[in-house]
Amino acid sequence: MHISLTVNGKSVQADVAPEELLSDLLRERLGLTGTHVGCDTSQCGACVVHVDGRSVKSCTVLAVALQGSTVTSIEAVASAAGLHPMQKAFHENHGLQCGFCTPGMVMSALDYAARNPDPSAESVRHWLEGNFCRCTGYQNIVAAILAGAAAMSERAKELGK
């Protein structure tokens, strides 16, 4: 089936099989390998991207269902000016070790911070229940998300949003 969608701000046309997953389209056909696949069962969250502004696990979304959608992967989060405030917060708070889960964590965190600009540590931990990190104890990830959310909220105030 032929689909048209926007990926990281660019128009994309693709012929996809009915069973092709979004994660496969992104990684194998579009070369966007920042979206990691760790389980293929929607358990780990390493494959999280945004579809129409909301975080989704791309290993469980059929590409054919995305006709007309807008997809954002980790590759589009930073800008020419530098890292996004959430990415900076992960770096500054040591919210990563091996980095495999980090793209999915950042994408989940961006969605959560947009929904909840002043989250508590408990609410962040609850939000991240579907994202697994095999290297850390999550303490630094939670600290990074809290710092990133605060930076995003401050940035929004500066921009008058």
Q: Any idea what the Cα angle at residue 110 is, between residues 108 and 113, rounded to 5°?
A: 110
Per CATH, the homologous superfamily of domain 2-76 is: Beta-grasp domain (3.10.20.30)
Residues 33-53: tens digit of each pLDDT: 999 999 878 899 999 999 999
Question: Which fold does the domain 85-158 belong to in CATH?
Answer: DNA polymerase; domain 1 (1.10.150)
Single out the residue of 86, 88, 66, 81 nearest to residue 5, CA to CA.
66
Question: How do the domains of the chain map onto residue ranges?
Answer: 2-76, 85-158
Residues 61-119: tens digit of each pLDDT: 999 999 999 999 999 999 999 999 999 999 999 999 899 999 999 999 999 999 999 99
From residue 43, how far is each of 10, 55, 89 by CA, in Å? Answer: 29, 14, 25
